[in-house]
Structure 1
Amino acid sequence: MNARDPSLPLQADEVSALGAFAEQVWDEEIIPALKDYIAIPAKSPMFDADWAQHGYIDRVVRDAASWVESKKVPGLKLEVIRLEGRTPVIFFELPATKSGSTDTVLLYGHLDKQPEFNGWRNDLGPWTPKYEDGKLYGRGGADDGYAIYASLTALMALDRQGVPRPRCVGLIETCEESGSFDLPAYVDVLKDRLGTVSLVVCLDSGAGDYDRLWMTTSLRGMVSGVLKVEVLTEGIHSGDSSGAVPSSFRILRHLLDRLEDSATGRLLPESFHCEIPGARLEQARATAAILKDEVYKRMPWACGADGGPVLPVTTDPVEVLLNRTWRPTLSVVGAEGFPELKNAGNVMRPYTAFKLSLRLPPLVDGNEAALRLKALLEDNAPYNAKVSFVPDGRAGAFGANGWNTPDLAPWLSQVLEEASQAHFEAPVGYIGQGGTIPLMGMLQKSFPAAQMMVCGVLGPKSNAHGPNEFLHVPYGKRLTAAVAQVIAAHP
């Protein structure tokens, strides 16, 4: 066992050494590895039904696993686990170096990616990595291909200095962007090997800015699926049919009016809302005081009617934060049944289909919401049109649950503040996120006493899922060192 007294806090030189080691590994090894990773179109199964045949997911898994094994960390064991018909996961473990430690720290990330999207800068592309001004551009680097590399680097930083730490395991999946529908089976298979998890480090979240360590306090749930309205078996001349045949688009608009107030964006069914806990309201006010109007000004607004930018839903920073973290919202993220503009003749189209993304407050059950949404949209269809809403969820789970972090233990609250001051020279920040990480709810149910450190590099304009996604490398380096410091303080 290590000779260093584990009861002593890290000294200034040790903290500095964590940062220096993280910076070196990022510059020499992680950035090159991520460039290779970005170049591989390892799209999540929802966006690549033939993922197994294409082999891209297997490739990024193989590359990441090989990188981990090449570090030859003493005691490290790694396995790529493949259940029949499911996307693979990487599971690695490192034995404790802290005498008497029996608990486990679980580090989580994922390697599957969102699809390409359009609108990338002319010199950029989703599968064309480019490192410029401290930003590594390309799909998946920030969301969150870096996680496995940063996780192992944090552990290596501790072992290199002889800083005692608990047993650590890594769980890296390849189905997160599809709702993690494969993950419960793996968590069940691995439950005995996971051990007694008392701290979860999840590197798949965001940051309010790049000036401090940010902790995620909540995540929204989600229901996504395809709403389709059919009125004809084939397209016919619009001059001959309009006024007799109801427009499938108009019917779809009518159905969405059941769900959303189009004037305000408020979701109408009260069952999709929940009471916002008082602690989260206070944190939103504190975060609004830090970020001010940057919470909405950071968006890439188009030029509006008067020559100024398009206006946000609200300019109250507190309300912006609550809207994107604790209130339900609807987005139409795809459409089908429309020809391209250049091919759009005067034809009454036979059907209209929208891909809906309904973000839910953290305390609303995703599966129940999906069933309510399906009934709301399908029942009593106007004109007796054929209406269907098909959720994306699989294996009986039609929606993903959100997550609200448990209260922080005093030791974790203290070390988060210390780590933020040490590596960012600023107090730690707390912020809710509008995205969804299904694993967090799963792990909280499996390990209700575990502390949660949910964080990530997705700060202003990093634009995960959209064009010009980038990883803010200086932030990634400091975050890696902060994670190491937190693990070192694990009691």
Structure 2
Amino acid sequence: MNAPERLKLPALDTAALAAHSARAWDEQIVAQLVDYIAIPAKSPMFDPDWRQHGHIEQVVRRAADWVQAQQVRGLTLEIVRLNDERGQPRTPLLFFEIAATRPEPDAASAPTVLVYGHLDKQPEFSGWRSDLGPWTPKIEDGKLYGRGGADDGYAVYAAIAAVRALQAQGATHPRIVGLIETCEESGSGDLPPYLDALRERLGQVSLVVCLDSGAGNYDQLWLTTSLRGNVTGALKVEILAEGVHSGDASGVVPSSFRILRHLLDRLEDSATGHLLPASLHCEIPADRLGQARATAAILGEAAWRSQPWACGADGGPTLPTTTDPVEALLNRTWRPTLSVTGADGLPAIGQAGNVLRPWTAFKLSLRLPPLVDGPRAALELKALLEADAPYNARVTFQPDGRAGAEGATGWNAPTLSPWLETAMQAASLAHWDAPLGYVGQGGTIPLMNLLQQGFPAAQMMVCGVLGPKSNAHGPNEFLHLDYARRLTAAVAQVLAAHP
């Protein structure tokens, strides 16, 4: 059978794909995700006792049972378990394989599609609406509220539903494998050993479908073109052995908070947010600049207005760093930024007496441009913050998470193959009646770099349901149900188009 003959596949009924996907969501997946949201399956970084609590085990087993019950033709499934160097269990990984339904002249070299998602979650966070909560799912106005549904507990359910939609109408698809991990929100530190252990079983990966990303709006299919890297850790300044009366000691003992501010001034211009070390920046590729301009034309002021701005001093909303849509997109995708995401050593205001505190610690999150090396940036950050400490204070920067001191390097998508771009354009038009959108994402998915290094010739379809105001990691996180239904059908259509 020659190549042209192999590509003469049956015509795909895209309306039937959409209908089948919608039924799967309405009759099964929504109920599964309601139960999933109610389980506080926090990632190991946020729940060190995850083994004893059993929540991660619970969500993995529930997902595995549901997948098995779908009776997908050619499916095999396993919960893979490895131990670390100390003999302790790593977080489990759900691995499934679905045999190809089209003839392949050489099974050993047949293309494989790898589908990725994760089931572990971020912690609760504060600020949820009074009638909502991280572990209390609620459906309102077509949105499913609660932690983890959109980021991205839905992924394994949507992937299987997409395959079932194809098989229901006799459409063919290539071999498909699924990697559903439970350590992503901790930096995917357990994932590399699993990739090594499963490498032969993964086969010849020619397409990666990652469902852990976002969307510029809910009106079209969006392809993620880049992801930022990340270095996180605790910066701690110690100046006293114990707290002392501030009236007695202030003016003699320097404030640990002031020293910490001084250290951060080495890293960031506090007036603009610009990061000072040149090594943390990179040149933005010309094609990504062009895509940012095209996306800005689609989104307009929504590129910055979509954030939940507070009420400002004059009664109007607080202001962004820029109101230029192009600059807003580039700032959150191709430029480094610093955020302080937590603090220790600071008592609650109601319990704060007149005491000069012995130490202050900040949790830092440094987002890196896609082309900046994460491990190198982590080492440079540690050296920058710890060198020549003011007042000879004890200063430590300790990177955290399963990625350890290495940090996480970002990702820039490879050049799109014509078949994939055509397939995604067709899917966007079929299920949204709008063209495909291209957008960089400010978050980090460590897997993408691992897979691009391991399968350099593979194409990458990175997409997801995290659109405006969906607020992953924060309060009032939601899954846009209609978008999820359409995305499921779009993924099915791309799978069928795989040459």
Instruction: State the TM-score, normalizing by the size of structure 1.
Output: 0.98
Shift of the alpha carbon at 1:8? 4.0
Q: Deviations over 1:179-218 (max 9, x none)?
A: 1000000000000000000000000000000000000000
Shift of the alpha carbon at 1:11? 4.0
Letter of the structure 2 residue corresponding to residue 367 of structure 1: P
2:345 paired residue number: 337
1:32 paired residue number: 31
Contact 2:226/2:411, CA 8 A, preserved across alignment:
yes
1:23 paired residue number: 22
Note the 1:338-417 alignment, pairs <5 A. 338-394=346-402, 397-417=405-425
Answer yes or no: is 1:7 the counterpart of 2:11: no
1:93 paired residue number: 97
Q: Deviations over 1:400-446 (max 9, x none)?
A: 11000000000001111100000000000000000000000000000
Letter of the structure 1 residue corresponding to residue 455 of structure 2: F
Letter of the structure 2 residue corresponding to residue 347 of structure 1: V
Which residue, out of 442, 452, 467, partners 2:460? 452
Which residue, out of 470, 477, 483, partners 2:485? 477
2:257 paired residue number: 249
CA-based RMSD: 1.1
1:194 paired residue number: 202
Note the 1:162-311 alignment, pairs <5 A. 162-311=170-319
Shift of the alpha carbon at 1:74? 2.1
C-alpha distance in structure 1 between counterparts of 2:9 and 2:337, whole Å: 44
C-alpha distance in structure 1 between counterparts of 2:309 and 2:18, whole Å: 36
Letter of the structure 2 residue corresponding to residue 312 of structure 1: P
Secondary structure of 1:199 counterpart:
strand
5+ residue gaps, structure 1, are none
Letter of the structure 1 residue corresponding to residue 489 of structure 2: A
Secondary structure of 1:146 counterpart:
helix
Note the 1:53-132 alignment, pairs <5 A. 53-84=52-83, 85-100=89-104, 102-132=110-140
C-alpha distance in structure 1 between counterparts of 2:232 and 2:271, whole Å: 22
C-alpha distance in structure 1 between counterparts of 2:255 and 2:6, whole Å: 70
Cα 1:396–1:140 shift into 2, 3 Å: closer
Q: Deviations over 1:219-242 (max 9, x none)?
A: 000000000000111111000000
Q: Deviations over 1:431-490 (max 9, x none)?
A: 000000000000000000000000000000000000000000000000000000001000
Contact 2:379/2:405, CA 8 A, preserved across alignment:
no
C-alpha distance in structure 1 between counterparts of 2:161 and 2:96, whole Å: 13
**Would you say how many aligned residue pairs link Structure 1 and Structure 2?**
486
Contact 1:392/1:398, CA 8 A, preserved across alignment:
no
C-alpha distance in structure 2 between counterparts of 1:292 and 1:394, whole Å: 38
Shift of the alpha carbon at 1:398? 2.3
C-alpha distance in structure 1 between counterparts of 2:250 and 2:204, whole Å: 65
Moved more, 73-82 or 242-251: 73-82
Shift of the alpha carbon at 1:394? 4.1
Shift of the alpha carbon at 1:9? 6.3
Q: Deviations over 1:22-47 (max 9, x none)?
A: 00000000000000000000000010
C-alpha distance in structure 1 between counterparts of 2:140 and 2:317, whole Å: 27
Letter of the structure 2 residue corresponding to residue 32 of structure 1: A
Q: Deviations over 1:57-108 (max 9, x none)?
A: 0000000000000112222100001111210000000110111161100000
Contact 2:142/2:481, CA 8 A, preserved across alignment:
yes
C-alpha distance in structure 2 between counterparts of 1:347 and 1:26, whole Å: 56
Letter of the structure 2 residue corresponding to residue 445 of structure 1: Q
Cα 1:175–1:37 shift into 2, 3 Å: same
C-alpha distance in structure 2 between counterparts of 1:192 and 1:9, whole Å: 29
Q: Deviations over 1:322-354 (max 9, x none)?
A: 000000000000000011110110000010000
Letter of the structure 1 residue corresponding to residue 79 of structure 2: V
Q: Deviations over 1:225-281 (max 9, x none)?
A: 000000111111000000000000000000000000000000000000000000000
C-alpha distance in structure 1 between counterparts of 2:297 and 2:376, whole Å: 36
Q: Deviations over 1:342-390 (max 9, x none)?
A: 0110000010000000000000110110000000000000000000000
Letter of the structure 1 residue corresponding to residue 22 of structure 2: E
Letter of the structure 1 residue corresponding to residue 220 of structure 2: R
Secondary structure of 1:123 counterpart:
coil
Letter of the structure 2 residue corresponding to residue 7 of structure 1: L
C-alpha distance in structure 2 between counterparts of 1:385 and 1:6, whole Å: 69
Secondary structure of 2:363 counterpart:
strand
Secondary structure of 2:381 counterpart:
helix
Answer yes or no: is 1:143 the counterpart of 2:142: no
1:420 paired residue number: 428
Report % sequence identity. Answer: 71
Shift of the alpha carbon at 1:158? 0.8
Cα 1:400–1:312 shift into 2, 3 Å: same
C-alpha distance in structure 1 between counterparts of 2:71 and 2:114, whole Å: 20
Contact 2:118/2:152, CA 8 A, preserved across alignment:
yes
